Amino acid sequence: MGILRRYGPSVLKFAKITFQFGCFAHCFNSYVAEITWCVGPSMLPNFDMSGIVAVEHITHHFRDIEIGDVVICMSPAKPGRSVLKRVIGLPGDSVCKDPTLADRKYVNVPQGHVWVAGDNLSNSTDSRAYGPVAMGLIKGRVFAKVWPNVELLKSNFVPV
């Protein structure tokens, strides 16, 4: 009984602080910003095969996504997985469905959707495979590379 009286209040205080911090961290990661690991060749050469990026969850709710923004979104092809892609078409835009093919077909991006593509078209599963992505599937905008090289991102995308 002596141990419980002696350490009980300290353990409860520690548990309370840990729980509060966990709640804060969860809310921050869900609604403000997060650091996430990205793996795969679809964004080469602008992103490494594996690396860590910083994603913010706020601005796409208050301002429109822009062409050239790199976003993290839920994969329409594999529910439960996230993908990192570049926005190349906005609602109302006419985009080339697959610029790697000689027979160029164009698609109109419907309202409430964006057209996304990997920077490495030869090794990317993107809107060419699963079509326009609903804006509701966008989790956030990537604003920085964190590892292996730290770099703030700015769009240098020029539509043709």
42 is catalytic: yes
What distance in Å separates the CA atoms of residue 60 and residue 54, rounded to the nearest whole number? 15
Residue 107 CA: distances (Å) to CA of 27, 90, 93:
38, 11, 8
Amino acid in the structure at residue 15: A
Tokens (6 digits) for 124? 């990317």
Q: Which of the following is catalytic: 30, 50, 75, 85? A: 85
- pLDDT score recorded for residue 156: 65
pLDDT band at 1 (very low <50, low <70, confident <90, very high): low
Length in residues, the chain: 160
Contact 115, 99 (CB under 8 A): no
Helix then strand count (H, E) for the chain reads: 3, 10
Span 40-83, pLDDT tens digits: 888 888 888 888 999 998 877 777 888 999 999 999 888 889 99
- pLDDT score recorded for residue 159: 59
DSSP 123: G
Span 108-127, pLDDT tens digits: 999 999 999 998 888 888 99
- pLDDT score recorded for residue 72: 93
- pLDDT score recorded for residue 47: 85
Burial of 96 (0-12, 13-18, 19+ CB in 10 A): middle
- pTM attached to this predicted model: 0.79
The structure tokens 């609602």 sit at: 91
Whether 97 has a pLDDT exceeding 90, the answer reads no
What distance in Å separates the CA atoms of residue 70 and residue 90, rounded to the nearest whole number? 13
Q: Which of the following is catalytic: 42, 124, 127, 145? A: 42
85 is catalytic: yes
Whether 160 has a pLDDT exceeding 60, the answer reads no
